[in-house]
Amino acid sequence: MNRAANRAINRPPLPPELIERENAARLAALQDEYESLARALDRRGRSIDAVKDKVKAFAVAVPTWGLGVGGTRFAKFPIPGEPITIHEKLEDAAVVNQLCRMTPTASPHFPWDKVEDPAALKEEAAELGLGFDAVNSNTFQDQPGQARSYKFGSLTHTDKAVRDQAIAHNIDCIDLGVALGSKAITVWIGDGANFPGQQNQTKAFDRYLDSMSQIYAALPGDWRMFMEHKLYEPAFYTTVISDWGTNLIAAQQLGEKARCLVDLGHHAPNVNIEQIVARLARFGKLGGFHFNDSKYGDDDLDTGSINPHQLFLIFNELVEAEARAKNGANGGFDPAYMIDQSHNVTDPIESLLLSAAAIAGSYARALLVDREALDAHQSDNDVVLAFSDLRRAYETDVAPILAMARYELGGAIDPIDAYRTSEWRPRKAQERGRASMSAGIV
Ligand code: PSV
Ligand code: MN
Q: How far apart are CA 228 and CA 247, in angstroms?
A: 7
Residues 390-411 have pLDDT tens digits of: 999 999 999 999 999 999 999 9
Strand runs labelled E in 151-231 = 184-187, 192-193, 224-228
Least confident segment among 218-222, 274-278, 305-309, 328-332: 328-332
Cα(267) to centroid(ligand 2), Å: 12
Output the residue whose Cα is nearest ligand 1's atom 12. 442
pTM across the whole model: 0.96
Average the pLDDT over 336-359 and give the result: 98
| Confidence label for 327 from pLDDT (cuts 50, 70 and 90) | confident
Residue 291 CB–ligand 1 contact under 6 Å: no
Cα(342) to centroid(ligand 1), Å: 10
Cα(372) to centroid(ligand 2), Å: 35
Q: How far apart are CA 100 and CA 42, in angstroms?
A: 26
Output the residue whose Cα is nearest ligand 1's atom 1. 188
Cα(291) to centroid(ligand 2), Å: 8
Helix or strand or coil: residue 250? helix
Residue 113 CB–ligand 1 contact under 6 Å: no
Q: How far apart are CA 378 and CA 215, in angstroms?
A: 43
Residues 10-27 have pLDDT tens digits of: 999 999 999 999 999 999
Output the residue whose Cα is nearest ligand 1's atom 11. 442
Average the pLDDT over 77-90 and give the result: 96
Residue 82 CB–ligand 1 contact under 6 Å: no
